[in-house]
Chains A and B, each alone.
Chain A
Amino acid sequence: MIFFANLESGTVKTKAIIFDENLIKLIGQDDQQAFQELYLTINSPLFAYILSLVQNTQDAEDILQETYLKIRAAAHLYQPQGKPMAWIFTIARNLSMMTLRKQKRNTDLDMENLENDRLFATNMDIQDQLVLHTLLRDMEEAERSIILLHAVSGVKHREIAQALSIPLPTVLSKYNRGLKKLRRKLEAQKVSLV
């Protein structure tokens, strides 16, 4: 069971969403309703996690689709271990690493590539663009993942630790250190958020 928070503009409202391991079993039996429920539950944090790895929305979207297909193809083989999200994140990470290796690309993107990304072609606020750009460019991979997962879906640090198979103290340490570093970077760039 994993709890996610539903963040709404301005205020943080936590909403417990039950993620039952039985969903995986039902998906293995081609239960579309179960798949839909899983999708609605994990789509946002899963995309955030993939984005933190590949730092590119196009690649992240491709990997996101491929992750769902892998889940559908292997769900019937899944053995319940109490950490279904960890399995899904492992699939997403393996696909991301494979993509990065294929492209022979360094995980640190330069400014030019980021600016050409679709992420920055939308009508997004310029300040928000700078924050996300700084996060993806200047933070370490683990810091990116933890901050993104916590910011996008309000996932508790304990659940992040479980999903990423990282000790909780490490998660807390990287989160706080990464956020402070991000704030310093943003202040240096004179980014002002409303």
Chain B
Amino acid sequence: MKQEKILDSIRRSVNNCTPDVYEKVCNAPVQRMVTFDSITMQSVPRPKQGTKLQALSFRWAPVFAVMLLAVIVYGGWWSVFRADSVIGLDVNPSIEIKVNHFDRVLNLIPLNSDAFPIVEGIAYKQIKVESVLRAVIGSMYHHGYLNDPESAILVSVENQNHETASRLKNLVVIEVGDLISLAPQQIYSQTIDSELVKEAAEKFGVSRGVMNLAYRARLNHPYLSFEDLVKLPIAQLYELATYKSDDPYWNEQGHPFGEDDLVDVRQQGPFEVFLPILLQSDFSSEQNSSSPIYEDNDDYDWWDDDDEWDD
């Protein structure tokens, strides 16, 4: 039996008995209600749960969207256009490479007159740091640097995050090592995380890497001035930074930072030179202008006034 036949049968029977009550109900007297009674009560639609919250969300949604967009845009800008690390290359010409969070170069800065012809013509904007390094090292070769077997190159990486600095330093050292592997060059590397080095480097007009080494050399050889130290070739500066003075006075006192924090790169490869925090007081801007620490005065106690070394 088909369903359509059943439905037709039901329709026929109900239509047969559906009464026509129009005349009765149309003309019957009706008293208008003042309010709904229990029979005619109209159901009140139930408000959906979370309506207030949804309304609040909809009201503030544009604000949240704009704030989120601003955070994303600012975060993107921060990552792409802000210098996250500074790489220093020192041979004799000193070059500074500023890179962003994604290891792309933002700026290539010659720090002395010798460096200007080296960086000239090198495209670097938003290019991977490895590519720029190859171009810089190649340009150094082209201009006659790094050909001397006695020459050395200092790689310095500055970043507040030590892990990032170490990662980038290793990356740069590997790249530089590959490029100059034919010649037995000396590659020194270090990470820098002190703002004081930056200030002192700007004062002396040298790279931060050289300034950091000069700090170490001055620690071992306090009778040398910073002005003389920063002018030394990298290899000699390294020698002074690595080996402390033969002066029996200093040997008797002992090295203030221990014997093991400097490593001979020629024996163990690239090493890190850690900037002693104790030096911070020596390079405040006020002291640098008139401080006698730059004078060749053997009697001067450059450790300041605590008389630690005067006994």
Contact = CB atoms under 8 A, between A and B. Distances in A.
Are A and B interaction partners?
Answer: yes
Interface of A: 7, 9-10, 32, 35-36, 39, 43-44, 47-48, 51, 57, 61, 64-65, 68-70, 72-74, 76-79, 81, 86-87, 90-91, 94-95, 98, 118-119, 122, 124-125, 127-129, 131-132, 135, 147-148, 150-152, 165, 179, 182-183, 186-187, 191-194
A73 B30 contact: yes
Interface of B: 1, 3, 5-22, 24-26, 28, 30-33, 35-43, 45
Contact of A150 (B7, B35, B41): B7
Given A65-B25, A131-B10, A132-B10, A47 B33 contact: no
Contact of A73 (B9, B33, B45): B33
A57 to B, nearest CB: 5
Among B19, B22, B26, the most chain A Cβ lie within 10 Å of the Cβ of B19
Q: Which of B12, B28, B39 has the most CB of A within 10 A?
A: B39
A47 B18 contact: yes
B6 A51 contact: no
14 contacts: A32-B26, A36-B26, A39-B22, A43-B18, A44-B18, A69-B28, A72-B25, A72-B30, A73-B30, A76-B32, A119-B13, A131-B10, A148-B10, A186-B1
Q: Which of A51, A70, A147 has the most CB of B within 10 A?
A: A70
Contacts of B3: 179, 183
A95 B17 contact: no
Nearest to A52: B14
Nearest to A46: B18
A192 B39 CA distance: 41
Given A64-B21, A69-B25, A151-B7, A125 B36 contact: no
Nearest to B19: A61
A79 B35 CA distance: 12
B71 to A, nearest CB: 42
A-side interface mostly:
helix
Contacts of B16: 122, 124, 128
A151 B21 contact: no
Contacts of A44: 14-15, 18
B14 A47 contact: yes
B12 A193 contact: no
Nearest to B5: A193
B279 to A, nearest CB: 79
Contacts of B25: 39, 65, 68-69, 72
Given A43-B22, A118-B17, A148-B10, 8 more contacts: A9-B8, A68-B21, A73-B40, A74-B37, A77-B36, A152-B10, A183-B3, A193-B8
A75 B184 CA distance: 103
Nearest to B28: A69
Contacts of A119: 13, 17
Given A32-B26, A65-B24, A151 B11 contact: yes
Given A76-B32, A179-B6, A186-B1, A122 B17 contact: yes
A10 B7 CA distance: 11
Contacts of A73: 30-33, 40
Contact of B11 (A72, A152, A179): A152
A27 B222 CA distance: 108
A135 B11 CA distance: 12
B16 to A, nearest CB: 5
A127 B9 contact: yes
B100 to A, nearest CB: 57
Contacts of A48: 14, 18
B35 to A, nearest CB: 7
Given A69-B30, A72-B30, A87-B42, A7 B17 contact: no
Given A64-B19, A69-B28, A76-B32, A125 B12 contact: yes
Contacts of A94: 38-40
A194 B12 CA distance: 12
